[in-house]
């Protein structure tokens, strides 16, 4: 069988990194990128591939799948557009990543190299699990979550929808992180984080309230 063609949503540099992950993952190939903000980017291409305008994608729904290649947790708008057009979401795991057979990964999620996900853990839809991330056992990670490079999320932990965990941040065992919150790079989260706040530092403390992801 031929490789599944994928459309990557996004035309920034991270989309090129995701393209590299796709090229290293058996069973998939990049078939182009998708733009939903600036139609002029479609004329320039990206990484040697065609850039499609999102409103023109309905003919691709029958035989293509998509992956959202944006690190912002506001990518929900893009994924909603693609799903409304009937394009199904792919799930891509780099060959060097380890996902326990007792764990699950939702549609539209991508796992980058050298990541390890422990047993009995669930990761939701359209999550970005970046390079070298560690996720412990019996942990729940919600939809549209971004775990930055080198982040370490402990066991028996809950990370709600649209949370952004920065580079090298640590979330200790048994802690919950509320919807739309942001964990700063290098922070160490030792207690529960409420919804829609930004925390930074060691130990992490609230530095901003009433936010909605990053």
Q: What's phi and psi for 152, nearest 5 deg?
A: -130, 110
| 92-209, CATH topology level | UDP N-Acetylglucosamine Acyltransferase; domain 1 (2.160.10)
pLDDT 10s digits, 39-90:
999 999 999 999 999 999 999 999 999 999 999 999 999 999 999 999 999 9
The rounded distance, in Å, linking the Cα atoms of 53 and 188 is 40
One fold for both 4-84 and 92-209? no
The CB-based long-range contact list for 169-175 (8 Å cut-off, 24+ gap) reads 169/204, 173/136
The segments of the chain whose pLDDT lies below 50 read none
- Per-residue pLDDT, 213: 82
Q: Which positions are annotated as active-site residues?
A: 137
DSSP conformation class of 89? B
- Per-residue pLDDT, 76: 94
- Asked whether the beta carbons of 120 and 140 are under 8 A apart, the reply is no
Assign 59 to helix, strand or coil: helix
Q: What's phi and psi for 48, nearest 5 deg?
A: 80, 10
Does the bond joining 152 to the residue before it have cis omega, within 30 degrees of 0?
A: no
| 4-84, CATH topology level | Rossmann fold (3.40.50)
The rounded distance, in Å, linking the Cα atoms of 122 and 141 is 6
Tokens of 61: 């729904």
Let me know if 183 is exposed, middle or buried by CB neighbors in 10 A (0-12, 13-18, 19+): buried
Domain boundaries, the chain: 4-84, 92-209
| CA-closest candidate to residue 110, choices 36, 49, 20, 3 | 20
- Per-residue pLDDT, 1: 61
Assign 31 to helix, strand or coil: strand
């Amino acid at each position: 069988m031929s490789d599944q063609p994928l459309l990557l949503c996004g035309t920034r540099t991270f989309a090129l990194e995701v393209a590299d992950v796709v090229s290293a993952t058996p069973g998939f190939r990049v078939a182009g990128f998708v733009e939903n903000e600036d139609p002029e980017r479609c004329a320039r291409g990206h990484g040697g591939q065609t850039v499609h305008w999102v409103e023109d994608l309905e003919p691709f729904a029958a035989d293509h799948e998509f992956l959202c290649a944006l690190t912002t947790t506001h990518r929900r708008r893009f994924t909603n557009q693609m799903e409304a057009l009937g394009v199904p979401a792919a799930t891509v795991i780099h060959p060097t990543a380890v996902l326990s057979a007792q764990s699950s990964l939702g549609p539209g999620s991508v796992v980058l190299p050298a990541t390890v996900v422990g047993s009995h853990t669930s990761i939701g839809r359209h999550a970005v699990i970046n390079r070298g991330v560690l996720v412990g056992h019996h942990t729940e990670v919600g939809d549209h979550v971004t775990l930055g490079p080198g982040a370490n999320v402990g066991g028996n932990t809950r990370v709600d929808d649209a949370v952004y965990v920065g580079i090298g941040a640590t979330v200790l065992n048994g802690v919950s992180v509320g919807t739309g919150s942001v964990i700063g790079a290098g922070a160490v989260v030792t207690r529960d984080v409420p919804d829609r706040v930004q925390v930074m530092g060691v130990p992490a403390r609230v530095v901003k309230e009433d936010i909605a992801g990053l």
